[in-house]
């Protein structure tokens, strides 16, 4: 099967009250680990590359590696997605280069400009059969969100979200309801604004919503990092049961990068510490790839609910 867009997988996920995992990829081992997990779980998957990933590996390497993975796993519906594209030019380069889905993240721009550029990208992408994710709202840390006013200032406004989708024609929308990127998401208790998500769902029926910044920062992996010389202190993520609940609502795509980073790095630290004489990269990259696989399998089972949906 060639790369697919996300329309079909999101439709099934919406109807089935589960979500598709979008996992960030930067190299061969990460792609292989994710695809092995998708195969084992019989689940569709989204491989996503950020601008940082494009700079690190090179766009053509990423596309090439994913195409080879597809030959190995032709039965797995797989999308290749640009994560947080910051301009029309970068989205266009990915569309022209073989991606099946792109995100334009205009959330830092004024609303009108976000609408204008998103619409322009949707026009180009749809002509080429590529789907577009957009973003509205700010994925800030929520430690200061004590008041309703503060939430309204940062989180996505449901009415504006409905208008934005109508104006731009984007195929999915990332919203801000309390998640944020990285390993340090909350100073206080974890929080997701389900009321807001429900309002968005009512105003945009049958429409796929995306959650960024949805890693859980599983303590076991932080502890393993730190036990083998790491220094990851005070990290906190979104509890998995909270994400599972969001996946049963309008959320059809859940983005996970940090948990894969922690899984890989803790595996590499452990392997190096346990065999200090080893200097063969395969000695630590093999357990790292296995750690990616196990993490993705765990996410599919505990968070996404997308196992056996092919
Ligand atoms: O949203 C993400 C990628 O776009 C990743 O979020 P995490 O940092 O929570 O893994
Ligand atoms: O949301 C960002 C993703 O975690 C990708 O991170 P990156 O830009 O460092 O590749
Ligand atoms: Zn963003
Ligand atoms: Zn993101």
Q: Is the CB of 185 under 6 A from ligand 1?
A: no
Q: Which of 173, 303, 198, 179 is nearest to 247 (CA)?
A: 303
Q: Which of 267, 253, 250 is nearest to 204 (CA)?
A: 250
84's torsion region: left (phi>0), alpha (psi -120 to 50) or beta? left
- CA 226/CA 265 separation, integer angstroms: 10
- CA 275/CA 245 separation, integer angstroms: 42
Q: Is the CB of 255 under 6 A from ligand 1?
A: yes
Which ligand has its closest atom nearest to the C-alpha of 255? 1
Residue closest by Cα to atom 3 of ligand 1? 255
Structure tokens at 81: 């997605």
Supply the DSSP symbol for 156.
P
For the chain, the first-to-last Cα distance in angstroms comes to 13
Q: Residue 131: beta bridge partners?
A: 101
7-216+234-257+295-304 is classed CATH 3.20.20.70? yes
Domain boundary assignment for the chain? 7-216+234-257+295-304
Which range among 62-71, 144-153, 227-236 shows the weakest confidence by mean pLDDT? 144-153
> Model confidence over 211-245: pLDDT tens digits?
999 999 999 999 999 999 999 999 999 999 999 99
Task: Using the predicted structure, report yes or no on whether residue 264 has a pLDDT greater than 70.
Answer: yes
pLDDT of residue 152: 78
Asked whether 161 and 203 are in contact (CB, 8 A), the reply is yes
What is the pLDDT averaged over residues 37-65? 98
pLDDT of residue 143: 56
Which range among 72-86, 129-143, 295-309 shows the weakest confidence by mean pLDDT? 129-143
Q: Which of 163, 104, 92 is nearest to 134 (CA)?
A: 104
The rounded Å distance from CA 306 to ligand 2 centre is 23
Sign of the C-alpha dihedral computed for residues 116, 159, 143 and 250 taken in this order:
negative
Residues taking part in catalysis = 83
Q: Is the CB of 141 under 6 A from ligand 1?
A: no
Nearest-Å Rg of the Cα atoms of the chain is 19
259 annotated binding-site participant: no
What is the pLDDT averaged over residues 187-209? 95
The rounded Å distance from CA 278 to ligand 2 centre is 30
Q: Which of 255, 88, 259 is nearest to 175 (CA)?
A: 255
> Model confidence over 2-40: pLDDT tens digits?
999 999 999 999 999 999 999 999 999 999 999 999 999
Task: Using the predicted structure, report yes or no on whether residue 148 has a pLDDT greater than 90.
Answer: no
Separation in Å, CA 64 to CA 5, 28, 29, 244, 261 = 17, 10, 14, 33, 22
pLDDT of residue 153: 76
* DSSP-based three-state secondary structure for 307: coil
Q: What is the pTM of this model?
A: 0.97
Structure tokens at 23: 């996992």
181 CB burial (10 A radius; 0-12, 13-18, 19+): middle
Asked whether 185 and 238 are in contact (CB, 8 A), the reply is yes
* Residue for token pair 């619409």: 119
256 annotated binding-site participant: yes
pLDDT of residue 194: 97
Long-range contacts of 277-285 (CB under 8 A, 24+ apart): 285/29
pLDDT of residue 134: 98
Ligand 2 atom closest to residue 213's alpha carbon, by position in its atom list = 1
Task: Using the predicted structure, report yes or no on whether residue 147 has a pLDDT greater than 80.
Answer: no
Kind plus residue range of the DSSP H or E element containing 255: strand 251-256
The rounded Å distance from CA 279 to ligand 3 centre is 39
Which ligand has its closest atom nearest to the C-alpha of 107? 3
Separation in Å, CA 34 to CA 40, 70, 88, 133, 240 = 10, 12, 29, 21, 19
Residue 175 pLDDT grade (very low, low, confident, very high; cuts 50, 70, 90): very high
Q: What is the mean pLDDT of the chain?
A: 96
258 annotated binding-site participant: yes
């Amino acid at each position: 099967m060639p790369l697919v867009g996300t329309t079909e997988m999101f439709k099934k996920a919406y109807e089935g009250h589960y979500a598709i995992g979008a996992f960030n990829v930067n190299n061969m081992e990460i792609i292989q680990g994710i695809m092995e997990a998708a195969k084992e779980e019989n689940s569709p998957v989204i491989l996503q590359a950020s601008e940082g990933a494009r700079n690190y590996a090179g766009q053509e390497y990423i596309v090439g590696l994913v195409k080879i993975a597809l030959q190995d796993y032709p039965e797995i519906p797989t999308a290749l997605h640009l994560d947080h594209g910051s301009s029309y030019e970068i989205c266009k380069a990915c569309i022209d280069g073989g991606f099946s889905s792109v995100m334009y993240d205009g959330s830092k721009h004024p609303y009108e400009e976000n609408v204008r550029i998103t619409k322009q990208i949707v026009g180009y992408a749809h002509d080429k059969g590529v789907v577009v994710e957009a973003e509205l709202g700010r994925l800030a840390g929520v430690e200061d969100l004590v008041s309703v006013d503060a939430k309204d200032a940062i989180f996505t406004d449901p009415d504006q979200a409905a208008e934005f989708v109508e104006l731009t024609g984007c195929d999915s929308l990332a919203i801000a309801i309390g998640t944020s990127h990285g390993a340090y998401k909350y100073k206080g208790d974890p929080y997701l604004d389900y009321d807001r998500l429900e309002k968005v769902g009512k105003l945009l029926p049958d429409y796929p919503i995306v959650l960024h910044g949805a890693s859980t920062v599983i303590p076991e992996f932080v502890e393993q990092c730190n036990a083998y010389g790491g220094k990851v202190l005070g990290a906190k993520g979104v509890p998995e049961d909270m994400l599972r609940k969001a996946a049963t609502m309008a959320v059809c795509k859940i983005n996970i990068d940090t948990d894969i980073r922690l899984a890989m790095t803790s595996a590499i630290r452990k392997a190096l510490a346990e065999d200090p004489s080893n200097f063969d990269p395969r000695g630590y990259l093999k357990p790292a790839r296995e750690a990616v696989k196990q993490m993705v399998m765990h996410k599919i089972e505990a968070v996404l609910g997308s196992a056996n949906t092919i």
